[in-house]
Amino acid sequence: MDERLEAAMRTYDQLAAELADPELWRDPGRAADLRRRQGDVEDLAFAARAMQATEQEIAEARSLVQEADDAELREMAQDEVTRLEERREALSAKIQDLLTPKDPRDQKDVIVEVRGGTGGDEAALFAGNLMRMYARYAERHGWQVEMMDASETEIGGFREVIFAVKGKGAYSRLRFESGVHRVQRVPETEAQGRIHTSTATVAVLPETEEVELQIDPADVRIDTYRSGGAGGQHVNKTESAVRITHLPTGIVATCQDEKSQHKNREKAMRVLRARLMERLESEAHEEMAMARRSQVGTGDRSERVRTYNFPQGRVTDHRIGFTTHRLPEILDGDLDELLDALRKGLL
């Protein structure tokens, strides 16, 4: 067997043994690091073990084909060989994919930021559609969605909404959603039935853990203020909302989603850490620069990665020339076909 597969299995077993040690959990940072490392090799280790088992079953089935006296039994064994060889072929393709160099951030959770762009209220409504689309996609994959911050409009939708998506491989699946999304449809507020074009911007940031990036408390200013917008009784009553400013870079993160100032502070710090890590990585690797401003553009109609055309029921991703007429299903979170095409076309 390939040495890389042997190494993956050994590493997985080694990390599993370390994670089973109760003493390890006295150091949450190290435990989180080991869990992350185990997750990095888990799929490859499991595929390697499945390949080992399949090879053994093929050998046994072939032996039966050669040794069986009964013709019917030999035929059954040959059918089993054929089935197992098909499984081996599928596993081989999966292993090759797993061995292909990946972005080290692929398994990370993400923070998704959606903002209404050009189009006023209609753009805000479209931002709400996109937020729901990603939430439904996460639900289909058994992932967790956690609201971080939101600025709602009076007629519904969001001027801005920030949320975390937690699940294995979230970044690998959603990484190419960043950019300007354009919608062409008749707004609910349009009496003449004319088609309008509006936009919303999406930024997908891999979540950064504290052990990966520590922020000096002296480098941040934390302000509190009263929450505004839709909400419960706490809105405009207590200073539970939090704004954190990273003084060296000027990066700002806010959160007012929780009643607790402490929880809002923790969420805002997570957003700040993700934004700051992206800034640092963009500066360190200019060839891979994905700074937020260049990532999502200005929101102008001419800058777009994807168009959602309601009159034609069509969704087109302009980066790879992919078109589907399954717009209702796409907006309901059925994104796998589109995301698979993006990974194939852009990686």
- Burial group, residue 209, by CB count within 10 angstroms (0-12, 13-18, 19+): middle
| Contact predicate 315/306, CB 8 Å | yes
- Tell me: pLDDT of 281 over 80: no
CA distances from 70 to 19, 57, 295 (A): 50, 20, 66
CA distances from 271 to 23, 99, 103, 210, 268 (A): 31, 31, 21, 12, 5
Task: Name which of 37-41, 62-66, 83-87, 191-195 the model is least confident about.
Answer: 191-195
Domains and CATH numbers, the chain: 3-99 (1.20.58), 110-210+291-346 (3.30.70.1660), 217-286 (3.30.160.20)
Distance between CA atoms of residues 171 and 339, nearest Å: 12
pLDDT at 343: 85
pLDDT at 330: 97
Query: How sure is the predictor about 143, in pLDDT bands with cuts at 50, 70 and 90?
Result: very high
* Backbone CA torsion sign across 231, 236, 239, 244: positive
pLDDT at 295: 57
Q: Where are the alpha helices (DSSP H) in 178-217?
A: none
Distance between CA atoms of residues 206 and 110, nearest Å: 4
Distance between CA atoms of residues 290 and 281, nearest Å: 9
* Half-sphere exposure for 308 (CA within 13 Å, toward CB): 23
Condensed to tens digits (0 to 9), the pLDDT of residues 156-212 reads 899 999 999 999 889 999 999 999 999 999 987 676 778 999 999 999 999 887 767
Beta-ladder partners of 112: 163, 204
| Contact predicate 108/171, CB 8 Å | yes
CA distances from 184 to 189, 274, 277, 293, 323 (A): 14, 32, 35, 24, 15
Q: What is the pTM of this model?
A: 0.67
pLDDT at 291: 44
Condensed to tens digits (0 to 9), the pLDDT of residues 191-206 reads 677 899 999 999 999 9
Average pLDDT over residues 218-237: 70
Average pLDDT over residues 315-340: 96
* Half-sphere exposure for 206 (CA within 13 Å, toward CB): 25
Number of CB atoms found within 10 A of residue 257's CB: 21
In this structure, the chain runs to a length of 347
Q: Where are the alpha helices (DSSP H) in 230-333?
A: 261-284, 292-296, 327-331
